[in-house]
Structures are given as structure tokens and as C-alpha cells.
């Protein structure tokens, strides 16, 4: 055991049931081995509600810790080993701009229900909560898009255009009913004529890590591993999802590999830490390969050393808590709660 692992083990023992370490599937092996509760974004959000420990150390990117802080009980404290671990996609939709676009769209006289991917800031979640909208994750995007469609004339999906389009495809919402918003640097940003007709308005954000997967990689995998099953995350472009055998959240991908027959091959289009862990777990029984080695440096900025330091700070009472800004917390929590209730 290295010295960070020893520190972590010692503090866990000292704090006992007062501490829970949570972590996302994209965390590195050296971090994930210390995690008590792991999962995809939806599972982690659900698990927070059942955690009784006073201290929750969350190994993941900022929006995940922030969502945990919003859902935590009173008196419970949430900490991130690396507060600068920021999902870049979550920063592609500034809350003030989303609010402005929604107010602009309301001028058309239609009810536009905002639905934000959980990979977004607390400000965007609050704007969605305030305008009657909610949150979704990659695991429940279909349920939540249907939920939002039932409540208005159109849905504004923020910030991931790929998850938005892939979900619309699954629900059979034709492309002719979509409109990609033209969010300009300077202004009101909405092409109102086209926007006024669309049932699905898409914010033009994406995940750079998943945007790297393409059709050529899928073709190569199919040539190199005849009979291979291809599974990707729905943050990939729609043509990549269409050319794959399945698409779903990180936990869906884990289950997909688990259920693949012994001796078969699976090629995966998602963050490399998870793919390598699966390849290791099934070595000798199933061939698990990445479509491309695509790493999320933000997830990787959480390290075993930082986890050890954070736990030391928690034990000393000097760790800095994640706190949702007061002006946003209530509406953001409302948006998250709507999702958890709709998907109970
Ligand atoms: P999941 O909710 O599927 O775990 O995905 C989170 C994420 O950030 C994917 O890039
Ligand atoms: Fe964000 Fe993409 Fe990293 Fe997921 S993989 S946390 S969407 S930057």
C-alpha cells in the first residue's frame, strides 16, 4: 500500500460511518478502489438521498459534487478532492444567457419547457426549475424529454446537442421539428422564426471527449474484430450512435459488457478509464477494446493524493465544503427533485 492509500485507510477507520466516499465510473483505478458508492450520474444522485453519513467526499467533476450538495440532508457536508475539476460541457451554457433565451422564446406566446442535462451549472438548473423545467441524465433522457414535451409546446434542451438529438431520435421526434439555436456572443441569440416552429430547441454544446468518436473507428473495430458489438455513450454524435449496436449511460455500458457472451468482443466509445477497467476485468473471457483512447482530463484531475489530502482536511475540520450559491439553491433543487420524482 502506498502512503496515500495508507492515509485514506487510516482516516476511513477513524471516521467510520461518519464518512462516505462516492465516485463516478470515469475515476481512475487508484481512486475508484477507495470508493464506497459508485455509479452513473443518475445512480449517484439517487444514492445521495440514502446516505446518512455526515461527510460525503465526492470523486468526480464539480457539477456532480454540487448536485450532491443540493440533494444532501441538512447538516451533511459534501467535499470534492479537486474543486477545479470542471466538466467543460457544463460551462457551455451560461445561466444568464439561458434565462435570456427563455424569456425571448416566451415572447412567441408558446410554452417552452427547459430541460437541462445534469452536466450543467447550478445556475442553469435554477433557471430550469424557475421556468417549470427539470434535469435529466444520460440514463433517463427519454423519460425526461417526454415529461417536458407533455408540459408545453416545445422543449429547450441544454447544453448537449448530441444527447438532445439522440434522445429525440429514440422518441421519434423528426428532425424537421428540431432547431439548433444560434447562440451568438453578443446578444439575444434566437432565430425566432425557425425557433417559433420547432418542438425541440437545442443548445449547441457538446462533450469534446465524446465528439472524438467517429464512423471510421467503428468500421475499423468491425474489421479487426468480426462480430464485435459496439456500444457508445449518447454524448457521441447521432451518426456514431446510429452505427453502433447500443448506446447508454456509463452504467448501461458496464451492464452491456457484463451481458455480452463469453468469448465475444465489445468495442466501446466512452472515456478511457472506464473502458480500460472493463478490459482488465474481463481479460481472458471477453475482448473489450476502446474505439479510441479518449480521456477526460477533468475527471483525471482527481487523484489518490488529493483524496488523501481532502480526507485529512475533513478529519481536521478544515476541508472546504461544496455549497450551492444561496440565490440558486432552491430552484436548482426543485429541478433535480422533479427529475427524481418523475423517475422514481
Ligand atoms: P453518465 O451519467 O452516463 O455516467 O455520464 C456522465 C458523463 O459525464 C459522461 O460524459
Ligand atoms: Fe464532462 Fe465530457 Fe468529462 Fe463527461 S467526459 S465529465 S461530459 S467533459
pLDDT in tens, 188-198: 556 667 777 89
What sign does the dihedral 154-160-165-166 (CA atoms) show? negative
pLDDT (0 to 100) of residue 65 = 96
Let me know if residue 339 belongs to a domain: no
Task: Looking at the structure, tell me whether residues 75 and 49 fall in a common domain.
Answer: yes
Let me know if residue 74 belongs to a domain: yes
Let me know if residue 24 belongs to a domain: yes
Which residues form the pocket of ligand 2, taking CB atoms under 6 Å from any ligand atom?
A: 61, 87-89, 119, 207, 209, 235, 271, 296, 298-299
- For residue 2, pLDDT over 90 is answered with no
- Confidence label for 187 from pLDDT (cuts 50, 70 and 90): very low
Write down the pTM of the prediction: 0.96
Whose atoms come closest to the Cα of 85: which ligand?
2
Q: Which of 32, 182, 18 is nearest to 97 (CA)?
A: 182
145-183 CB burial, b ≥16 within 10 A, e <16: bebbbeebebbbbbbbbbbbbbbbbeeebeeeebbbbeb
Let me know if residue 338 belongs to a domain: no
Task: Looking at the structure, tell me whether residues 254 and 312 fall in a common domain.
Answer: no
pLDDT (0 to 100) of residue 192 = 65
Q: Which of 178, 206, 234 is the last residue of a domain?
A: 206
pLDDT (0 to 100) of residue 183 = 76
Q: Which of 183, 206, 229 is the last residue of a domain?
A: 206
Percent pLDDT > 70 in the chain is: 97
Q: Which of 302, 311, 309 is nearest to 15 (CA)?
A: 311
- For residue 167, pLDDT over 80 is answered with yes
Task: Looking at the structure, tell me whether residues 188 and 273 fall in a common domain.
Answer: no
- For residue 325, pLDDT over 80 is answered with yes
**Residue range of the domain that includes 160:** 90-206
Beta-carbon neighbour count of residue 126 at 10 Å? 26
Helix or strand holding residue 45 (H, E): helix 41-50
- For residue 335, pLDDT over 50 is answered with yes
pLDDT (0 to 100) of residue 188 = 54
When pLDDT is averaged across residues 215-231 and rounded to a whole number, the result is: 98
Task: Looking at the structure, tell me whether residues 76 and 135 fall in a common domain.
Answer: no
CATH number of the domain where residue 72 is located = 3.40.50.10800
271 neighbors 209 (Cβ within 8 angstroms): yes
Q: Tell me the C-alpha distance between 85 and 70, whole Å.
A: 18
- For residue 1, pLDDT over 80 is answered with no
Q: Mean pLDDT of all residues in the chain?
A: 95
CA-proximal residue: ligand 2, atom 3 (nearest):
296
Q: For residue range 295-308, what is the model confidence (pLDDT) as tens digits?
A: 999 999 999 999 99
Q: Is the peptide bond before 159 cis (omega within 30 degrees of 0)?
A: yes
When pLDDT is averaged across residues 320-335 and rounded to a whole number, the result is: 94
Q: Which of 177, 206, 235 is the last residue of a domain?
A: 206
Distance from residue 88's CA to the centre of ligand 2 (Å): 7
Task: Looking at the structure, tell me whether residues 13 and 66 fall in a common domain.
Answer: yes
- Substitution site in 138, 205, 240 for ligand 1 pocket (most atoms within 8 Å of beta carbon): 138
Let me know if residue 314 belongs to a domain: yes
Distance from residue 117's CA to the centre of ligand 1 (Å): 10
Q: Which of 116, 234, 215, 112 is nearest to 167 (CA)?
A: 234
Which residues form the pocket of ligand 1, taking CB atoms under 6 Å from any ligand atom?
A: 25, 40-41, 119, 137-138, 207, 233, 235, 249-250
Let me know if residue 337 belongs to a domain: no
pLDDT (0 to 100) of residue 186 = 42
pLDDT (0 to 100) of residue 107 = 79
* Domain total of the chain: 3
Amino acid at each position: 500500500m502506498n502512503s496515500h492509500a495508507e492515509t485514506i485507510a487510516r482516516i476511513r477507520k477513524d471516521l467510520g460511518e461518519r464518512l462516505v466516499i462516492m465516485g463516478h465510473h470515469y475515476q481512475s483505478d487508484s481512486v475508484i478502489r477507495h470508493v464506497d458508492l459508485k455509479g452513473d450520474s443518475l445512480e449517484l444522485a439517487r444514492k445521495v438521498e440514502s446516505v446518512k453519513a455526515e461527510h460525503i467526499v465526492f470523486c468526480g467533476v464539480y457539477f456532480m459534487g454540487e448536485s450532491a450538495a443540493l440533494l444532501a440532508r441538512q447538516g451533511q457536508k459534501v467535499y470534492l478532492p479537486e474543486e477545479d475539476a470542471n466538466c467543460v460541457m457544463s460551462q457551455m451554457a451560461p445561466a444568464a444567457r439561458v434565462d435570456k433565451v427563455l424569456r425571448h422564446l416566451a415572447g412567441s406566446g408558446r410554452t417552452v419547457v427547459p430541460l437541462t442535462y445534469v452536466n450543467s451549472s447550478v445556475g442553469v438548473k435554477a433557471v430550469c426549475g424557475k421556468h417549470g423545467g427539470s434535469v435529466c441524465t444520460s440514463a433517463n433522457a427519454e423519460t425526461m424529454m417526454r415529461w417536458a414535451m407533455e408540459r408545453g409546446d416545445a422543449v429547450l434542451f441544454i447544453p448537449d446537442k448530441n444527447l438532445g438529438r439522440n434522445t429525440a431520435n429514440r422518441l421519434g421526434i423528426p428532425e424537421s421539428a428540431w432547431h439548433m439555436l444560434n447562440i451568438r456572443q453578443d446578444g439575444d441569440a434566437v432565430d425566432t422564426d425557425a425557433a417559433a416552429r420547432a418542438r425541440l430547441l437545442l443548445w449547441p454544446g457538446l462533450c469534446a471527449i465524446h465528439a472524438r468518436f467517429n464512423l471510421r473507428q467503428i468500421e475499423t473495430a468491425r474489421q479487426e474484430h468480426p462480430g464485435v458489438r459496439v456500444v457508445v455513450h449518447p454524448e457521441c454524435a447521432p451518426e456514431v450512435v446510429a452505427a453502433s449496436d447500443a448506446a447508454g449511460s456509463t452504467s448501461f455500458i458496464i451492464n452491456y459488457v457484463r451481458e455480452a457472451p463469453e468469448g465475444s468482443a465489445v468495442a466501446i466509445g466512452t472515456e478511457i478509464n472506464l473502458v480500460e477497467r472493463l478490459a482488465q476485468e474481463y481479460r481472458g473471457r471477453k475482448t473489450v477494446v476502446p474505439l479510441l483512447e479518449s480521456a477526460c482530463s477533468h475527471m483525471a484531475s482527481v487523484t489518490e493524493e488529493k483524496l488523501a489530502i481532502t480526507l485529512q482536511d475533513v478529519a481536521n475540520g478544515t476541508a472546504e465544503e461544496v455549497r450551492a450559491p444561496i440565490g440558486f439553491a432552491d430552484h436548482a433543487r426543485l429541478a433535480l427533485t422533479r427529475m427524481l420524482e418523475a423517475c422514481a
